[in-house]
Structure 1
Amino acid sequence: MSFDDLLAANREFAASFDLAGFDGVAHAGVAIVTCMDSRIDPLRMLGLKAGDAKIFRNPGGRVTPQAMEALVLGVHLLKVERVLIVPHTRCAVASNTEAELREKVGASAGIDASWQPFPVIADQVAALGEDVHKVRSHPLVPDSTEVGGFLYDVDTGLLEQKY
């Protein structure tokens, strides 16, 4: 498999590239923590465009130490004023056990994957509440930063605020 198709698409993108010299701040003051799932288009789902938001993605859309690091930097250096934490319906890490994920990955890889951690989410809404609390209570996130927890429905495109 080659990258030729993607490089060709990139050349088309670059031909009309208009973000040169962009300052890198979140122009809408928004940061989004969401899942890596390709059914999620974080900017479009909120009516935003390139340059409006800082986006951090990982399996499950959890506030991991790395996501927290990004949020702290965003709040203090990149003009982030609002944080949305957005897991989604029908998420693989919320609908499988760790053993099931290890088995599926092992079968795909053709080797034992029992040693690979895959943090799963037993209760998405409860985990979302924990993540919202984690950001709101972080000593480097000012009280003036608005933090919300939302569940994205991959079948309707709608967000439902939970926290």
Structure 2
Amino acid sequence: MTSTFDDLLEANRRYSQTHEGGFDGIARAGVLMVTCMDSRIDPLAVIGLQPGDAKILRNPGGRVTDQVLVAIVLGVSLLKVERVVVMEHTRCAMATSTEADVKEKIGAKSGTDASWMTIGVIEDQESTVRADVNRVRSHPLVPDSVSVGGFIYDVDSGLMTPVD
């Protein structure tokens, strides 16, 4: 019986032959990154790190949601996270459409009304990054000793620009 996942399982078998394992789950570089799920972003490579160095949280638009805040609190409390990177990116679908447009596209593709969903499109990336950085900095369970920075990653040049 063939599966739609056979290619992935085969790739995993090859990967497992050289996988060293043994990580303890701690962010060795003390970094946690919140970024978009966009496949053009290789989060560890963007900041020069390797597997085991950082916690990576991804969602549409790279937003600091309630669940992301829970993960950040766990990271800074239990997993030695000392720096949080909030990174959106250029040419993001979440920043180039309206809420209504995205819902309409989802509804058309699925054949089901999507107007009830909250998508969370981004109207102004710099303002959104600033607000998300502030959301992390002001959380009562994130100590002041944790550095939080906001950035916009250019998917064409590969450069991160700080958002003040």
Q: TM-score range by the shorter chain?
A: over 0.9
2:14 aligned residue = 12
Q: Distance in 2 between matches of 1:137 and 1:102?
A: 32
Q: Could you tell me how far 1:109 is from its partner in structure 2?
A: 1.2
Q: How far does the alpha carbon of each residue in 1:36-82 deviate from its partner, in whole angstroms, 9 at most, with x for none? A: 11111000011100000001111110100011000010001000000
Query: Where in structure 2 are there 5+ consecutive unaligned residues?
Result: none
Secondary structure of 2:49 counterpart: coil
Secondary structure of 1:87 counterpart: strand
1:144 aligned residue = 145
Paired positions, count: 162
- What is the identity, as a one-letter code, of the residue corresponding to 1:130? A
Aligned-residue sequence identity (percent) comes to 61
Q: Could you tell me how far 1:116 is from its partner in structure 2?
A: 2.1
Q: How far does the alpha carbon of each residue in 1:6-53 deviate from its partner, in whole angstroms, 9 at most, with x for none? A: 00000011111112x311000000000000111110000111000000
Q: Could you tell me how far 1:111 is from its partner in structure 2?
A: 2.5
Q: Could you tell me how far 1:110 is from its partner in structure 2?
A: 2.2
CA RMSD of aligned residues (A): 1.0
* Alignment of structure 1 residues 14-29 onto 2, 5 Å: 14-19=16-21, 21-29=22-30
1:110 aligned residue = 111
Q: Distance in 1 between matches of 2:117 and 2:131?
A: 24
* Alignment of structure 1 residues 65-80 onto 2, 5 Å: 65-80=66-81
Secondary structure of 1:122 counterpart: coil
- What is the identity, as a one-letter code, of the residue corresponding to 1:58? N
Secondary structure of 2:128 counterpart: helix
* Alignment of structure 1 residues 38-117 onto 2, 5 Å: 38-117=39-118
2:131 aligned residue = 130
1:156 aligned residue = 157
Larger deviation: 32-41 or 116-125? 116-125
Deviation beyond 6 Å, 4+ runs, structure 1: none
Q: Distance in 2 between matches of 1:117 and 1:127?
A: 16
Query: Where in structure 1 are there 5+ consecutive unaligned residues?
Result: none
Secondary structure of 1:140 counterpart: coil
